[in-house]
Structure 1
Amino acid sequence: MASSSRSGPTFKLHPLVIVNISDHYTRVKAQTQRSVSTGTASSSLTAANGSAAPRVFGCVIGEQRGRTVEIFNSFEMILDPISQTLDRAFLEKKQELYKKVFPNFYILGWYSTGNDAEESDMQIHKALMDINESPVYVLLNPAISHAKKDLPVTIFETVAAHLTGIHSAIKMLNSRIRIVHQYLLAMQRGDVPLENSLLRQVSSLLRRLPAMESEKFQDDFLMEFNDTLLMTYLAMFTNCASTMNELVEKFSTIYDRHSRRGGRTSFI
């Protein structure tokens, strides 16, 4: 199982998804090459064009629990190669069939093959936003590179949805702080009775906040800042010394060659 974690959601990609996408691409590529060699074209191929390296498209399904997105399986999509529109009837039918077998699975996004995302992919991405408001995009690069050891899989998330989630979390935190602040003011005025347990919890939370105005913080900050500058200066001095050493070696090499050619004369 491949996983990806950062400041946003955590993605878990099961191997079955990679196998399905690879099989989909291999079949479409073989059918495309066979169609080109025989001079026929197949309308059932979910490829973007009839080139030697077609792109295939499909949906990824799985579960999302909090900030963890787990992709379990995938299925192919029927895409019009000219208008880049999805077959809605086929998509809804496949979704209904999967819901009967896996009631907890939902369409999390879609996948395609290629070296990088293209501008035309946004049309497919927007078309799926009525099913999932923040669909993920799984991109598999079918090109073989023996120099790379990592899986050629990239997962893109909707940036707007990520920022919206952060904004909602900050807004909720702000509302909770306002409630606590108003309750403390009411307690100070005597409108509500004192609760020592609540005051201890608030005091504990306040002690966890960084004391940015204290002298200790300023001293520690200046020490870290000076250490960083010192390391930067040392790195610059090291680079200058290395460059000077290379220059001296080149000068010595040229001087020796000139001395062997013209005798022990000075080199200008």
Structure 2
Amino acid sequence: MAEDGAVVDQDFLITRRDQYKQVFPSLEFIGWYTVAERPTARHIALHEQFTPYSSTPLLLVLQPSTVFAASADSSGQSLPLKAYEPTLEIRDRKSRSVFIEAPYSVETGEAERIAVDWTAKGGSGGTSLESHLQTQRAAVKMLHDRILLLVKYVADVVAGDATKDHATLRALSALIASLPASESTEFREEFDTEYEDVQLTAYLATLTKSANLLNDLVDKHVVLTSSRDDRPSMGVRRRGMMGRPTDFDRFH
């Protein structure tokens, strides 16, 4: 049990390990991962619970924050993660468990590179439109969050809950004064024009896709009907053999 009471579900871990061994018998348990800024005493306590499955399990720490991602890039790594291995440190005649950073390299196969390239180009469409739109959405969301932060700061200043910073308020006033008037006639006309162009483009894309699906359906129908018309029927052969139509021929 860890110092904060965190306990690894051993039954679930054993069950999941056995399931993986059935599918991938050549793989072995080598460590575990977590999301944190750096290893702490809590991770050491949790790490000891994985030792029955590996003599020296590794700890992979995912660092999603931009600060640690930047430090990882400066140290030559391209991914915001670090690997650690446990070791004993003797200090003041006392031993304790600590983590030391372990070097690693990322190896990819041909299939993984194809999948990454396919994802980077926007999926099955073969374009980067989806990634471009996601980038724009992230930028708009960030701008929205910053605006909410500024609005909250001004509201707190008015309510007396925040310290009044004249330089910041002057900068906000200058920024607001530099923005175009959103209620002017020219702005509304230009906005409506761009909005209608975007909607028209979306409708044209949907119409083009529907037309392509309809063309494919028509082509398949033509191929199917032509193959049926070219195939001789059993009734014609029977009339040639017997000299007169039968009930089977009338039915067909």
User: TM-score over 0.5 for the alignment?
Assistant: no
Q: TM-score, normalised by structure 2?
A: 0.37
Q: Normalization by structure 1: what TM-score?
A: 0.36
Q: Pick the structure with greater CA Rg.
A: 2
